[in-house]
Amino acid sequence: MKHVRVLALDPDLAAAYCARLFAGAGAHVVIVEPSRGSALRTAEPTLVDVNGNVRGALWEHLAAGSQSIVIDDDAHLDTLFRWADVVVSTCDGDADAAMRLRERVRRADPSTVHVVTSGFGLT
């Protein structure tokens, strides 16, 4: 998996775990976060580092081996979709939005695999 590039879009727990598995297998994983940061960064339980910064223990584990970038303007996403071999996203209960994102990923690069995580499926 050394040459596999994975893009995780503001992942929830399931999507972050999926990305972590890719990172653990040697893939180059980039997590895309909104400017407010991933909700996992401050999810309970939390840790406090030597500088007094509060960090979510889940984030520390799930983001290990990954890089993180902040994108507020999703116009850059198409470039990232072309870069990635795999895109990991979450459904958040909105199957239509997941399918629209899947089509956008395919338009950017038809060979990119899009993984959608969901607690209950898309239907």
Average pLDDT of the chain, as a whole number? 91
Q: Please report the pLDDT score of residue 67 as a whole number.
A: 97
**How far from 38 is each of 18, 52, 100, 111, 112, CA to CA, in Å?**
15, 19, 22, 27, 24
Integer Cα distance of 72 and 33 in angstroms? 8
Question: What is the Cα Rg of the chain in Å?
Answer: 14
Measured CA to CA, the distance from residue 110 to residue 15 in angstroms comes to 21
pLDDT tens digits, 79-115? 999 999 999 999 877 889 999 999 999 999 999 999 9
Tokens of 86: 């795999």
Q: Is the peptide bond before 45 cis (omega within 30 degrees of 0)?
A: yes
Determine if the pTM surpasses 0.95.
no
